[in-house]
């Protein structure tokens, strides 16, 4: 079993994050495996991933061991030896099933000399191991042994056991092999000056605080442990600490044997048996012999985890087990792991017919359904663990009718996305229990959809019209982002990174999807047959294509522009394929489930096939754990599930039947518990357009958490000791994994729960408060059974923002300095320029990111002019030079003119007051649309933004999106002013978004000289998708830009320029201007005039316990909840949900809080600007809201109210956008 794991260490303990990528079919970790490191256990998930936090980092070289129980057979595996560094990371070596390394019973450590007398002198240790089977000692010096020293300042040691002298003193060397330790004391006695002749070198006296000219102080006993300073120097103990090793016995008693046997004063547990020296002496065991313990006297109590369990035996696997961990608390309060029977622990079951035992110690296996009591005993102490065994068999759960023809399905969280033939894309809300699925959205993509795959928030559809890319970040409102028609009728698609691999006709096409609005073909390869579908192995740069009668095709895609056929195997009629390591599992229409060895790409070899009557006549296949799951047209609406543990002997396990009617499976998807079958009643082949289709949902794994195993949880960012400045956004990242499912993660700051997330990835962002020097961060994960796992706390350091001093120069377009301009920096700091045009602003925050300053100037009797700097990284605690700011004639025009309309998807034709030069063509008529744009030549009502629609005609687009005045506040509308002498102005005043409401104010200004200005003054549609730019029309080359990071842009002749704002790149130009100035060459010079960022503040107030209270600039609270004027369904229950808040005033801001039991929430410290609120639970967006806060002085009594509306808004059909 090959696993790649990453640990993350903190201090001497290691919160570990261990993730597994694709593994060979021959040896796959799954939910039947338990991984152990230092007696800390975790159950692997079905996909082989697992997390094991809080591993001690001071145990030398270790191994990770796996125990797998499948079909009643137990197998074992282990990794190669590895060491866990404190405060560091380690990549865990692979775990390999097979013979395991024996564990020594004892180690003997020797050195060629007991004393090193010079700096740099060395001694090579030798370590000999004794094993349980007896026999000769085995030299393990360089075979899996790790080494540590008690004081690296005295001597250093290499990973191979070479000791090097550093300075005088005594050290204890620990050698550890497979958890067994041996020790050796070494002295470093350097020849150095000893002025007073007391036996302690001068340098060591100075280090220890003694007088190198007073011989008498060597005879002092400063810590009253019965040893002189000279004695302690020779022993290597601390002369100022009576109990150097903290075992409860003074150093003098340990070396003079006054309390019992002599023990090592540098080791609390001299023999490494887990019981400290004082406890061993007080209970009569030998503290120097690991085999000598008296647990009957030393043991105070027992604790067993889990405290109770329920084992569910799935008929697919036929087995279930749970690992009990036994922890003993000793009479000194310290704990010891007693799980092993070698520690005198015994296990009995009241009902062996239901609960019995196997390796390793403490593992309970389920048999027949029933109940049992497991009694765990050790030397008179016992704990009873109650157990229940239940049976489970895969079965049908529910179904929902799908309009069109259900060709394929992909699942993310609680939504299924169906490629539905002529109806494009259907989005199905699944519900937590999968019993009541319902269609919540649909999108006509202008073609018949044949297949679908998901990558993040994007869905990729293989359609009759090519490849379609859809934004599904809001599942209830999918948006078409782009089309690549060059592949023709596409039947299959997979995506890795920014590359899509598409099967169409007889070929494999490779398409760059880095820009969904302008996809580019990178390469193609004709394969023959019918290219039905494919799978990818990115580690081998391999694409496997199911090519119908042409069989399985193996394609090398290392060079995207030149894919190369490496191998072919005729399988019959290959319709689908899934890869796992060196094995391909083929869904074959003629020969059922087929496994192929692809170790040698040039010579793929058939391994195994299932009988048609057991494996079905297949159209597609997916893998989950050790099973292949197929879509079939032979059975009466059944899904064959085949065990692929041994690819050379595929083993059909069951057929999950949907008895409602006899449908034919077209597409298949799975998650951890459920199977999703896209099926149609009328057709036998995938690729249909219309029919009688359904999405069926069946359960193949029990989704219950009855084993009592708590989630494993670790804070992966930040790390202990990280420094954060006050006012900095700090994002906590938590990894939480459970044997079944994590329900929620609670984030804690300064001991208080501040946010609870039900959606992975688990993250919480807050603003670092003022007035504290450190913050303790914590996290608690909860699972379906109510079990809680607690992450090791992380403590970060907090310091005041060092601030920066901002300087620069304000000039006009001719380069002349401007005196009296007002320059504003982030956080509201400002200054006025002097006669030389220069300015200086002190105390500017550095925690808001790159610094942008804006200059405003109005000359006597003149018009306002504005300029802004380029974004500049702040010089923390120093001077940040912003360079020259050029002010230009740009302002938000307050004379809106006459009201045009507040209608939806409308346009009006207007004669311009002057010939307007646009890309060198004089335009006299403009078509003003309500969706944020002006077109020439003809009007446009397209509301679904895409690059294709944007380029469909000459267009000036300030904010191409589905805007609707009636969805904004009262009086919101579009205004036109054609009476000004030098400009034509269109203002969208507080217009809402059709689906999400809110308020959006923007302006397009056309000047007589050809200049174009976009002005933004309050935008709430931050991530709904919008395009801002210019285009001369169809077939124009394009330049995609990021305005906020590029203060000046030169656009070539007849070239379109635009920025596409999406959910992953939200709108960030609020209160900014874009100025497009025509050039003599027929292009444009673009200048971005940004606004400085708005800061947010926060403080910690109150006594113990500390409570977060966020201060000005604003307080956000949910108002009465309603559907308002939208066409949405009734608002769902939003109690105890997560709230995410963004502000256009600071694009980097993310506010997070929770609603209460009545669905209300309050969030302070929100930057002024366009405010967008999203309410979600379990990954499902429940409600949205938006409003604009225009700034000004606020106190905590002033509220910004947000009306929340249901997120379930059915998107409009937009034929013009297709």
CATH number for the domain harbouring residue 1140: 2.60.40.1120
Q: Is 118 left (phi over 0), alpha (psi -120 to 50) or beta?
A: beta
pLDDT at 1192: 39
pLDDT per residue as tens digits for the range 588-604: 999 999 999 999 999 99
Note whether 983 and 855 are same-domain residues: no
Among the listed residues 160, 207, 156, 158, the one whose alpha carbon sits nearest the alpha carbon of residue 186: 156
Whether the predicted pLDDT of 691 surpasses 90: yes
Q: Where residue 928 falls among pLDDT bands split at 50, 70, 90?
A: very high
Cα-Cα-Cα-Cα dihedral sign, residues 1019, 1023, 1027, 1029: positive
Residue 566 tokens, joined: 């490496």
171 plus 281 within the same structural domain? yes
Would you say residue 25 has pLDDT above 60?
A: no
How many Å apart are CA 778 and CA 857, to the nearest integer? Answer: 49
pLDDT of 1122 above 60: no
More confident residue, 1141 or 972: 972
Q: Is position 707 within any domain?
A: no
Segment holding 251, helix H or strand E = helix 251-256
Q: What are phi and psi of 967, to 5 degrees?
A: -90, 0
User: Residue 679: inside a domain, yes or no?
Assistant: yes
Residue 260: pLDDT above 80? yes
> Looking at residue 107, what is its pLDDT?
87
Residue pair 1100/771 in contact (Cβ under 8 Å)? The answer is: yes
Is residue 233 predicted with pLDDT exceeding 50? yes
Gyration radius of the chain over CA positions = 35
Strand, coil or helix: 551: coil
- Between 101-110, 876-885, 1023-1032, 1200-1209, the lowest mean confidence (pLDDT) is in 1200-1209
Poorest-pLDDT segment among 574-578, 677-681, 1095-1099: 1095-1099
Check whether 855 has a pLDDT greater than 70.
Answer: yes
Q: Is residue 1211 part of a domain?
A: no
pLDDT tier at 306, thresholds 50, 70, 90 = confident
CA distance 47 to 19: 10
Higher-pLDDT residue of 371, 462 = 462
Cα dihedral 1120/441/478/970 (nearest 10): -30
Residue 1005 covered by a domain: yes
Domain-located, residue 918: yes
176 and 275 within one domain: yes
Q: What is the band of 1120 on the pLDDT scale with cuts at 50, 70, 90? A: very low
Does 1095 score more than 90 pLDDT?
Answer: no
Q: What is the CATH number of the domain that holds 372?
A: 2.60.40.1080
Q: Is the pLDDT of residue 281 over 70?
A: yes
pLDDT band of 956, cuts 50, 70, 90: very high
How much is the pLDDT for 1194?
Answer: 30
Model confidence band, residue 1119 (pLDDT cutoffs 50, 70, 90): very low
pLDDT value at 32 more than 90: no
Burial of 70 (0-12, 13-18, 19+ CB in 10 A): middle
What's the CATH number where 440 sits? 2.130.10.10
Query: Is residue 591 in some structural domain?
Result: yes
Q: List the single range of 87-101, 561-575, 898-912 with lowest mean pLDDT.
A: 87-101
Is the same domain home to 1064 and 973? yes
Instruction: Kindly state the average pLDDT of the residues 75-100.
Output: 62
- Which of 671-685, 849-863, 1175-1189 is most confident? 671-685
| Average pLDDT of the residues in 403-409 | 97
DSSP string computed for 920-938: TEEEEEEEEETTSEEESSS
CB of 510 within 8 A of CB of 499?
Answer: yes
Which residues does residue 338 pair with via DSSP β-bridges, in sequence order? none
Among residues 40, 49, 63, 187, which one has the least CA distance to residue 113? 187
pLDDT of residue 19: 32
Q: What is the pLDDT of residues 441-496, one digit of tens each?
A: 999 999 999 999 998 889 999 999 999 999 998 898 899 999 999 999 999 999 99
Torsion, Cα of 718, 720, 725, 726 (10° steps): 90
Residue 314, pLDDT score: 87
How many Cβ atoms from other residues are within 10 Å of residue 1132's Cβ? 18
Give the DSSP per-residue string, 90-147.
EEEPPEEES--PPPPSEEEEE-S-SEE-STT-EEE-EEEEE-TT--S-EE-TTSSEEE
* Same domain flag for 841 and 949: no
Residue 55: strand pairing partners: 14
Backbone φ and ψ for 209, nearest 5 degrees, come out as: 85, 15
Q: What pLDDT, on the 0 to 100 scale, is given for residue 1118?
A: 45
**What digits encode the pLDDT tens for the residues 622-643?**
998 889 999 999 999 999 999 9
Q: Which range, of 79-83, 680-684, 1006-1010, averages the lowest pLDDT?
A: 79-83
**Per-residue DSSP letters for 747-803?**
EEETTEEEEEE-SSSEEEEEEPPBS-SEEEEEEEEEETTS-EEEPPPEEEEEE----
Select from 199, 185, 389, 381 the least CA-distant residue to 302.
Answer: 381
Residue 100 reports pLDDT greater than 90? no
pLDDT score at 312: 87
As a three-state string, the secondary structure of 1136-1164 is: CCEEEEEECCEEEEEEEEECCCCCCCEEE
Strand partners, 419: 408, 425
223-232, 571-580, 655-664, 1121-1130: which is most confident = 571-580
pLDDT of residue 954: 98
Per-residue confidence at 1134, pLDDT binned at 50, 70, 90?
A: confident
Per-residue model confidence as pLDDT tens digits over 1167-1210? 888 888 888 877 667 777 787 866 433 333 333 455 666 555 44
Quick one: pLDDT at residue 64?
72
- 69-78, 187-196, 857-866: least confidently modelled range: 69-78
Please determine, for residue 1121, whether its predicted confidence score (pLDDT) is greater than 60: no
Question: In whole angstroms, what is the distance from residue 111 CA to residue 925 CA?
Answer: 95
Residue 920 and residue 1020 in one domain: yes
* 150/236 same-domain check: yes
Domain count for the chain, please give it. 8
Q: What's 749's domain CATH number?
A: 2.60.40.10
Across the chain, mean pLDDT equals 85
Neighbouring CB atoms inside 10 A of 344's CB total: 15
Tell me what pLDDT residue 168 has.
82
Residue 707 confidence (pLDDT): 67
Asked if pLDDT for residue 21 goes beyond 50, the answer is no
In a domain, 1216, yes or no: no
Q: Using CA atoms in the order 896, 897, 901, 902, what is the torsion angle rounded to 10 degrees?
A: 20
Is-contact 504 488, C-beta < 8 A? yes
pLDDT at 161 over 50: yes
What are the DSSP E strand ranges found in 265-345?
299-305, 308-314, 321-323, 325-330, 335-337
Tell me the C-alpha distance between 34 and 76, whole Å: 10
With a cut of 50, say whether residue 1070 has pLDDT above it: yes
Q: Are residues 336 and 270 in the same domain?
A: no
pLDDT confidence of residue 798: 93
Alpha-carbon span 949 to 1028, nearest angstrom: 13
Q: How far apart are CA 1147 and CA 960, in angstroms?
A: 20
For residue 1215, is it within any domain?
A: no
Structure confidence at residue 1204 (pLDDT): 64
Q: What is the pLDDT of residue 41?
A: 66
What's the domain range around 817? Answer: 804-886
Is pLDDT at 644 greater than 90 in this prediction? yes
pLDDT of res. 338: 94
Rounded percentage of the chain residues whose pLDDT exceeds 70: 87
Q: Are residues 10 and 128 in the same domain?
A: no
Same domain, 451 and 572: yes
pLDDT at residue number 601: 97
What span, in angstroms and rounded, lies between the C-alpha atoms of 797 and 771? 12
Q: What is the pLDDT of residue 1129?
A: 41
Whether residues 230 and 113 share a domain: the answer is: yes
What percentage of the chain reaches a pLDDT higher than 90?
52
Is it the case that residue 958 has pLDDT exceeding 60? yes
- The residue out of 97, 125, 146 marking a domain boundary is 97
Measured from the Cβ of residue 392, the count of other Cβ atoms closer than 10 Å reads: 18
Query: Per residue in 1018-1050, pLDDT tens?
Result: 999 998 889 999 999 998 998 989 998 888 899
pLDDT, tens digit, 9 for 90 and up, residues 64-76: 777 776 655 666 7
- For the segment 700-719, the average pLDDT, to the nearest whole number, is 84
**What pLDDT was estimated at residue 1166?**
80
**Are 687 and 809 contained in the same domain?**
no
| pLDDT > 70? residue 410 | yes
Stretch among 279-283, 575-579, 924-928, 1092-1096 having the lowest mean pLDDT? 1092-1096
Instruction: Choose the final residue of a domain: 776, 799, 822.
Output: 799
Q: Select from 827, 857, 886 the last residue of a domain.
A: 886
| pLDDT at position 1142 | 85
């Amino acid at each position: 079993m090959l696993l790649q794991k990453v640990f993350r260490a903190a201090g001497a303990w290691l919160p570990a994050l261990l993730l597994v990528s694709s593994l060979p079919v021959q040896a796959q970790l799954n939910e039947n495996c338990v991984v152990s490191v230092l007696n800390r256990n975790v159950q692997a998930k079905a996909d082989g991933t697992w997390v094991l936090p809080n591993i001690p980092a001071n145990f030398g070289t270790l191994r990770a061991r796996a125990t797998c129980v499948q079909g009643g057979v137990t197998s074992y595996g282990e990794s190669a030896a590895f060491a866990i560094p404190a405060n560091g990371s380690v990549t865990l070596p692979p775990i390999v099933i097979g013979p395991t390394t024996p564990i020594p019973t004892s180690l003997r450590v020797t050195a060629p000399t007991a004393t090193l007398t010079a700096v740099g002198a060395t001694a090579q240790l030798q370590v000999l191991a004794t094993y349980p089977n007896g026999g000769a000692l085995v030299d393990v010096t360089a075979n899996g042994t790790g080494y540590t020293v008690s004081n690296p300042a005295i001597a250093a040691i290499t990973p191979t056991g070479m000791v090097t002298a550093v300075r005088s003193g005594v050290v204890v060397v620990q050698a550890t092999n497979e958890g067994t330790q041996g020790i050796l004391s070494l002295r470093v006695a350097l020849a150095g000056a000893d002025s007073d002749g007391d036996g302690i070198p001068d340098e060591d006296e100075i280090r220890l605080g003694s007088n190198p000219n007073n011989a008498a102080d060597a005879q002092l006993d400063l810590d009253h442990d019965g040893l002189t300073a000279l004695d302690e120097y020779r022993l290597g103990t601390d002369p100022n600490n009576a109990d150097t090793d903290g075992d409860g016995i003074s150093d003098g008693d340990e070396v003079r044997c006054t309390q019992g046997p002599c023990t090592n004063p540098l080791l609390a547990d001299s023999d490494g048996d887990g019981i400290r020296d004082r406890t061993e002496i007080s209970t009569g065991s030998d503290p120097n012999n690991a085999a000598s313990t008296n647990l009957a006297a030393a043991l105070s109590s027992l604790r067993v985890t889990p405290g109770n369990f329920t084992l569910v035996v799935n008929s697919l696997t036929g087995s279930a087990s749970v690992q009990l961990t036994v922890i003993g608390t000793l009479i000194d309060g310290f704990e010891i792991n007693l799980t092993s029977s070698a520690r005198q622990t015994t296990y009995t079951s009241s009902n062996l017919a239901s609960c019995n035992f196997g390796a390793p110690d403490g593992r309970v296996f389920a048999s027949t359904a029933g109940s049992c009591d497991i009694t765990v005993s050790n030397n008179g102490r016992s704990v009873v663990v109650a157990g229940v065994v239940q049976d489970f068999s895969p079965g049908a759960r529910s179904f929902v009718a799908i309009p069109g023809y259900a060709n394929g399905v992909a699942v993310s969280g609680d939504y299924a996305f169906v490629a539905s033939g002529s109806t494009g894309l259907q989005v199905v809300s699944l519900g937590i229990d999968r019993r009541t699925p319902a269609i919540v959205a649909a999108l006509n993509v202008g073609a018949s959809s044949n297949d679908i795959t998901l990558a993040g928030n994007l869905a990729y559809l293989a359609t009759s019209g090519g490849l379609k890319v859809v934004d599904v970040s809001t599942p209830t409102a999918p948006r078409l982002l782009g089309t690549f028609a060059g592949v023709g009728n596409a039947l299959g698609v997979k995506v890795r990174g920014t590359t899509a691999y598409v099967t169409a006709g007889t070929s494999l096409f490779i398409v760059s999807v880095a820009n969904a609005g302008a996809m580019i073909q990178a390469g193609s390869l004709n394969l023959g047959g019918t290219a039905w579908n494919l799978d990818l192995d990115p580690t081998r740069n391999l694409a496997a294509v199911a090519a119908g009668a042409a069989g399985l095709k193996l394609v090398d895609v290392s060079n995207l522009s030149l894919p190369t056929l490496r191998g072919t195997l005729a399988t019959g009629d290959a319709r689908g394929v899934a890869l796992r390591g060196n094995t391909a599992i083929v869904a074959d229409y003629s020969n059922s489930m087929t496994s192929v060895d692809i170790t040698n790409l040039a010579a793929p070899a058939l391994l195994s096939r299932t009988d048609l009557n057991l494996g079905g006549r297949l159209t597609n296949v997916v893998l989950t754990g050790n099973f292949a799951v197929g879509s079939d047209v032979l059975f009466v609406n059944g899904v064959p599930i085949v065990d692929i543990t041994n690819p050379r002997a595929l083993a059909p396990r069951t057929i999950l039947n949907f008895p409602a009617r006899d449908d034919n499976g077209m597409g298949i998807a799975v998650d951890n518990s459920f199977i999703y079958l896209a099926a149609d009643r009328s057709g036998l082949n995938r690729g249909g357009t219309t029919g009688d289709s359904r999405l069926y949902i069946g359960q193949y794994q029990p989704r219950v958490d009855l084993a009592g195993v708590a989630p494993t949880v670790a804070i992966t960012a930040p790390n202990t000791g990280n420094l954060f400045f006050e006012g900095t956004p700090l994002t906590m990242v938590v990894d939480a994994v459970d044997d079944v499912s994590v329900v929620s993660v609670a984030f804690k700051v300064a001991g208080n729960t501040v946010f609870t997330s039900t959606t992975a990835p688990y993250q919480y962002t807050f603003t670092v408060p003022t007035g504290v020097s450190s913050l303790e961060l914590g996290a608690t994960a909860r699972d379906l059974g109510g079990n809680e796992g607690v992450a090791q706390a992380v403590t970060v350091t907090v310091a005041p923002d060092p601030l920066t001093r901002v300087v620069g120069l304000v000039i006009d377009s001719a380069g002349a300095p401007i005196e009296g301009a007002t320059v504003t920096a982030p956080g509201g700091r400002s200054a006025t320029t002097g006669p030389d045009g220069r300015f200086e602003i002190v105390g500017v925050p550095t925690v808001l990111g790159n610094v942008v300053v804006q200059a405003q100037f109005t000359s006597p009797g003149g018009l306002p002019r504005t300029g802004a700097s380029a974004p500049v990284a702040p010089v923390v605690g120093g001077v940040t030079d912003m360079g020259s700011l050029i002010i230009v004639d740009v302002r938000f025009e307050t004379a809106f003119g006459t009201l045009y309309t507040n209608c939806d998807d409308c346009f009006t034709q207007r004669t311009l007051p002057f010939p307007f030069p646009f890309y060198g063509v004089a335009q006299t008529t403009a078509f003003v649309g309500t969706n944020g744009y002006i077109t020439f030549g003809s009007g446009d009502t397209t509301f679904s933004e895409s690059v294709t629609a944007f380029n469909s005609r000459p267009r000036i687009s300030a904010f191409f999106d589905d805007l609707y005045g009636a969805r904004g506040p009262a009086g919101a509308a579009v205004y036109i002013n054609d009476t000004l002498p030098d400009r034509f102005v269109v203002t969208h005043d507080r217009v809402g978004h059709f689906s999400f409401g809110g308020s959006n104010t923007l302006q397009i200004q056309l000047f007589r000289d050809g200049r174009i200005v976009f002005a933004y003054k309050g935008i709430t549609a931050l991530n709904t998708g919008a395009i801002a730019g210019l285009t001369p029309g169809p077939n124009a080359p394009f330049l995609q830009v990021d305005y906020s990071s590029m203060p000046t842009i030169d656009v070539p002749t007849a070239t379109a320029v635009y920025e596409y704002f999406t959910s992953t790149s939200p709108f960030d130009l609020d209160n900014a201007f874009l100025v497009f100035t025509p050039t003599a060459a027929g292009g444009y010079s673009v200048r971005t005039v940004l606004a400085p960022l708005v800061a947010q503040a926060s403080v910690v107030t109150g006594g113990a316990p500390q409570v977060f209270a966020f201060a000005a600039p604003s307080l956000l609270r949910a108002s009465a909840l309603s559907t308002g004027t939208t066409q949405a369904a009734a608002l769902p229950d939003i109690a105890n949900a997560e709230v995410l808040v963004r502000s256009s005033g600071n694009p980097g801001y993310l506010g997070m809080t929770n609603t209460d039991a009545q669905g209300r929430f309050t969030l302070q410290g929100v930057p002024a600007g366009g405010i967008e609120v999203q309410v979600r639970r379990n990954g499902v967006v429940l409600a949205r809201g938006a409003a604009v806060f225009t700034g000004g002085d606020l106190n905590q009594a002033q509220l910004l109210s947000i009306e929340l509306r249901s997120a379930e808004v059915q998107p409009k059909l937009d034929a013009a956008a297709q």
